[in-house]
Amino acid sequence: MPEVMHHQSETKKIAVISMVRNDDFFTPKWIDYYSAQFGSENLFLVLDGMDQPLPAGHERINIIREAHKPMTRLRGDKYRSRLVSDIAKGLFNNYEIVIACDIDEYLVCDPKSGKTLAAYLSQSFKRSSLSALGLDVGQHIDYEKEIDLSKPFLQQRSFAHVSARYTKAIVALCPVRWGSGYHRVKGKNFFIDPNLFLFHFGMVDYNHCRNKISDKELNQRGWTQHFNRRFSLFEIIRQTKAIHGDQFFEKARRRQTLFRPFFSINKPGMLREKPVIEIPARFKDIV
């Protein structure tokens, strides 16, 4: 499929879609954040299981119910990506852009651009998708308190690991087929936009993570190794001297673009030194 070019308009119709199961920690913030960016009527939340309760604020958004299919973690990731890709394809009948993300991921436009996220994405792009630089935010357990869900996350967390795992091609400008976890678009190259960031908050609170790691259903489906790997973020943030984000963002984009894994050249490359950045103050009130 050739790369697409959209004609510039004042504000494009933008939809956001996610899929969730057994979560009441991130879902209300996901609804509030993306409603503020694009309007709640343009949010589509897939509930994984007929047993799932409707989340707070559900009446403002579009709810899609799917029967739960117990799967291993890897098979589940592939299933969700296929399902969301199919739903997104249908949404393109009414929308010009579709954003697909996990419930703990928040797409942010750099305030230095002077544009809202909606205005920025409404520009013309000669691409099929856009990637955002991935920032894996974690609690510095020596200095930062338990998260207060009533306040912005970034007012309470100051550090993030710059991670290619979260530099995802989540902004689709035409129908695409996402790979597992939205880490890549099948058959397409990626472009890390200089003004887009993807803040991943899965490890934003140590105690919340401790509770999740003991979830029997998830561990039975093969999440134990994943949880153990992810839990290392707390020590990475604790032990690594942080550099200011603005001193590293451009370098990270360039290196993730140049040094790609040989087994999947349409995915960004990991940074071996596991860099930790201090999140610039201009982001503090956004999420």
Distance CA 6, CA 123 (A): 8
Which candidate, 159, 156, 109, 111, places its Cα nearest to that of 279? Answer: 159
Query: Over the stretch 80-129, which tens digit does the pLDDT of each residue have?
Result: 999 999 999 999 999 999 999 999 999 999 999 999 999 999 999 989 99
Domain that holds residue 243: 14-283
Query: CA distances (Å), 170 to each of 184, 191, 231, in order?
Result: 8, 11, 24
Q: Please give the pLDDT value at position 17.
A: 98
Phi-psi region of 52 (alpha: psi -120 to 50; beta: other; left: phi over 0): beta
Angle between helix 206-213 and helix 224-239 axes, rounded to 10 deg: 160
Q: Is the pLDDT of residue 2 over 70?
A: no
Task: Say which residue, 270 or 131, is predicted with more confidence.
Answer: 131
Domain assignment of residue 117, yes or no: yes
124-146 average pLDDT score: 95
| Bridge pairing between strands 43-48 and 14-20 | parallel
End-to-end Cα separation, the chain, in angstroms: 35
* Three-class secondary structure of residue 44 per DSSP: strand
- Integer-rounded Cα Rg, in Å, for the chain is 18
Domain assignment of residue 5, yes or no: no
Type and span of the H or E element at 70: none
How many domains does the chain divide into? 1
Domain assignment of residue 137, yes or no: yes
Domain assignment of residue 232, yes or no: yes
* Residue 84, φ and ψ in degrees, nearest 5: -65, -35
pTM assigned to the model: 0.91
The three-point CA angle 229-287-284 to 5° equals: 100
